[in-house]
């Protein structure tokens, strides 16, 4: 395991999902790329969104009142 890891968490008061990812071992980034991600909130958020979209069931719909 490398020293370049991110933790992700999403949920509500009833349930949640947590993950710890290693940017080098799990995602295949180089040490230079991983260091850049660790120092960039926007890149971290982008990875979080990708993780969320791949791992959390999500849906949306229009609710119409009759």
Domain boundaries, the chain: 5-54
d(CA 47, CA 32): 16
Predicted confidence band of residue 3 (pLDDT cuts 50, 70, 90):
very high
Sign of CA dihedral 23, 41, 9, 56: negative
Cα–Cα distances (Å) from 39 to 5, 32, 35, 43, 61, in that order, read 12, 11, 6, 9, 36
Whole-prediction pTM:
0.78
pLDDT given at position 58: 85
DSSP state of 7: E
- pLDDT at res. 17: 86
Stretch 52-59: mean pLDDT: 88
């Amino acid at each position: 395991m490398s020293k370049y890891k991110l933790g992700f968490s999403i949920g509500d008061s009833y349930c949640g999902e947590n993950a710890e990812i290693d940017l080098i071992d799990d995602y295949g980034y180089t040490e230079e790329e991983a260091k850049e991600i660790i120092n960039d909130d926007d890149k971290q958020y982008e990875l979080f969104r990708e993780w969320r979209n791949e791992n959390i069931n999500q849906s949306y719909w229009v609710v119409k009142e009759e």
